[in-house]
Chains A and B, each alone.
Chain A
Amino acid sequence: DTGVSQDPRHKITKRGQNVTFRCDPISEHNRLYWYRQTLGQGPEFLTYFQNEAQLEKSRLLSDRFSAERPKGSFSTLEIQRTEQGDSAMYLCASSLAGAGPETQYFGPGTRLLVL
């Protein structure tokens, strides 16, 4: 257990529905990342936060995706009007920037299946 938690661990939804995932990072970590991993592939970067500021978004993050990190604590990732292609594992990672080499610690992931 790395100390990063994600909820829910599994989500099954129907195409067109909205879903929201939550990530609780390690408490003192100021950076939080979201990645997506499909079967047989490595994780792909989606977006990251430095405290509450969202500093970079991948082109993979279409306008149906939105992420927030209010007050620099937990983060949510929402997918609107889900599509079957959104089925994947959504991984959250956190790190402490500015104290030597930055190590990203990953949570267990939320596995999404869109029917």
Chain B
Amino acid sequence: QKEVEQDPGPLSVPEGAIVSLNCTYSNSAFQYFMWYRQYSRKGPELLMYTYSSGNKEDGRFTAQVDKSSKYISLFIRDSQPSDSATYLCAMSAGFSGGYNKLIFGAGTRLAVHP
């Protein structure tokens, strides 16, 4: 079993829809949680960063972490065709106040159609 599980999709939604993306994990030592967006043939780009449990909002994006359930979510409001990409969750156990290696999910492919 992988440390981080993520449904690969694809997920297809109409423009303007609310998108919910999720990951589950098994390592209770994880305390740093991130969402990256990756366009085709590009490197991952950091969208959201959360430490420990709770919610964080940035524009149309909201990240939620529930450590008791080992479950993290990313919500995208008013989705746009430009949001079409692969969304990767990533997490780390942390190291001396920072963190080192990231453990990624497989990524969920999202398509937002006009």
Contact = CB atoms under 8 A, between A and B. Distances in A.
Interface residues of A, number: 30
Nearest to B105: A42
A45 B101 contact: yes
Interface stretch (A11-19, A66-74, A104-112): A104-112
Contacts of A58: 101
A35 B97 CA distance: 22
Contact of A45 (B42, B97, B103): B103
Nearest to A6: B43
B78 interface: no
Given A42-B104, A42-B106, A42-B107, A102 B99 contact: yes
15 contacts: A31-B100, A40-B106, A41-B106, A41-B107, A42-B4, A42-B90, A42-B104, A43-B44, A43-B104, A44-B104, A56-B100, A58-B101, A98-B97, A103-B49, A105-B46
